[in-house]
Chain A
């Protein structure tokens, strides 16, 4: 079971869209996939038409009163299940802080699911928090979306310094506007100076915005679109690493 998380220190970079579409693509290729919506905003759950509610909330899961397995919901797609978000996750840092081995709690929750899934994709909340520390201890691969701006380079530096060594780090460019010279310049600069940058670029596309209207991954309602193909290609790259 490979555990992958989309993550960014910054919000609004296409992290949830990536998690939702990557999970869809993984399942579309008939890999047994679980998407865990750990972001209290619950956007990933919303896109899959599943209520953001977990019985017992974050406390119930962390205390062991309710196993993660009991929170799993089937999506509309074969091979793809989802653990929905819960509003209580906004206090997840505090809940984790109260626990022994506070950076190992998420790993412990996932352990019983080994053998049930080939891939777990976690949509994590932004920020360098205790939740993030738990993530880094739990996952195999961290997938970081980057909007090609100078600010992204700065947050990437912060993240790399923090991880050292941490899980395997993969980056991809997100919300790219091909007409902007700045985007091309920043992408060239990052590609030339860092390892782990994936070839696939996710465009700033209307189809991605329409996910909220259709409440479905792009591949489902616009399978021939550039965005859907880009996510398929992105998953191929991640799966092959």
Chain B
């Protein structure tokens, strides 16, 4: 049914809407009594549905309440992709009953919560024209309440295109050259001073117009401080764990960019900021680690026989309890003066001339190339030095090196040919994925061991439960060992001549 695209026409004023209504009636259209609908638009914080070209909205009228997912730009009656009767808007996609709507939304939203992106009381008056058989051949919907201007929407009926063309002429004659009206979601967002999709796009800073390394660094800091600010409330709230994830990535990017700019900044100023960022990173780690444990718990259960799944219930409860505790501590930290001061300090760096060294006036590209070269060589040297006998910490350090390089590439990407950057980042992904899995397995082995001891000490588990946790640890250790065995091959896939040449080209002097 996706063929019947409505033709929306923006009307400049309520007077024009009245004029159109008169003309429609004179042309044989019959109006229905106006209906009032309370509509709420929902999306994730980072507009995941919007980015996929979909709109999620809930309508309440006197009789019922429906949740609807539709394509952007197709908002006439019957135009939705899927609908279901639901009293309250869902918080998570998981809350939706199984069915096409739930599946479609869950695939996109994942674990993110839905937030209201707008609401409106809409007054709709439908005008219909019928043929000799009293069959409806075209509809015009006059809609008021979404944004400041009324909108007339032509709703063609499939198979009756002539009637639609005639009605369109009428609409255009009244509306003048105003042109088509955007989707209601766009209008409601604009009315609230927002732009759909204004949050959550991939981190792609545009540094093409900056002249100095200082300007580049200042732009990046500004962007990342903004990331901290917009993700802080969601992180403190703690329901949608992706806020913390985004917050944490912003902290890491900030640390990477600042640590790689040591040459540009006065030592005291630089130390103060990096020390505080390390503190912030340390505050977020325990919560994120537990979030991942809880999120992955079902998958963890699948590693043991089904009959023993309940043996892990006490462990799960403990993880949730601990998560609440560390999350409360994080909340306090993010509401503290120390955090507020950190934002001010980072935000004001650009304005403090005394902290910038003279070389900060150099070329941003040269600065970026230098730091990328250093990060790349360190990664390669450390990777090559890893042997069978190297401790786990060597791989963890390598993972951090890989992240640093990735963050630098992404931060300064706009200064280099996009294809070359893409090639360099592409080669990183496989290595990072492997090191991430290894780190997760190592972390889980240590964490499950200590949680098991904690549960025993508190008398919360018996022998069966403890044996199950022990079995899980053994299973994870086998996985850890397997990943460790595969590491040389994985690193060799990164450490190739072709990849080396790509980096050489990226950091070559012009």
Prevailing SS type, chain A contact patch = loop
Known: A74-B4, A116-B2, A118-B100. A81 touches B136 (CB 8 A): no
Interface presence of B66 (CB below 8 A): yes
How would residues 71 to 88 of chain B score, 1 for a CB under 8 Å from any chain A CB and 0 otherwise? 000000110101110000
Prevailing SS type, chain B contact patch = loop
B2 touches A78 (CB 8 A): no
A49 touches B133 (CB 8 A): yes
Alpha-carbon distance A215/B135, docked complex (angstroms):
10
Interface presence of B457 (CB below 8 A): no
How would residues 110 to 146 of chain B score, 1 for a CB under 8 Å from any chain A CB and 0 otherwise? 0000000000000000000000011110000000000
Alpha-carbon distance A30/B100, docked complex (angstroms):
12
Interface presence of A15 (CB below 8 A): no
Chain A interface size range? 20 to 34
Known: A73-B158, A73-B160, A78-B78. A215 touches B134 (CB 8 A): yes
- Distance in angstroms from A20 CB to nearest chain B CB is 15
- Distance in angstroms from B100 CB to nearest chain A CB is 7
B159 touches A72 (CB 8 A): yes
B80 touches A72 (CB 8 A): no
B77 touches A50 (CB 8 A): no
Alpha-carbon distance A50/B137, docked complex (angstroms):
10
Residues of chain B within 8 A of A209, CB atoms compared:
none
How would residues 213 to 226 of chain B score, 1 for a CB under 8 Å from any chain A CB and 0 otherwise? 00000000000000
A51 touches B133 (CB 8 A): yes
Known: A30-B83, A74-B157, A118-B100. A79 touches B1 (CB 8 A): yes
B134 touches A30 (CB 8 A): no
Known: A78-B77, A81-B1, A116-B2. A49 touches B134 (CB 8 A): yes
Alpha-carbon distance A48/B160, docked complex (angstroms):
14
Alpha-carbon distance A117/B80, docked complex (angstroms):
11
B134 touches A74 (CB 8 A): no
Q: Which residues of B contact A (CB under 8 A)?
A: 1-4, 66, 68, 77-78, 80, 82-84, 100, 133-136, 156-160
| 12 more CB-based (< 8 A) A-B contacts, given A50-B133, A74-B158, A76-B136 | A27-B78, A30-B68, A30-B80, A30-B83, A49-B133, A72-B158, A74-B4, A81-B158, A116-B2, A117-B1, A215-B133, A215-B134
Q: Which residues of A contact B (CB under 8 A)?
A: 27, 30, 32, 48-51, 69, 72-74, 76-81, 116-118, 215
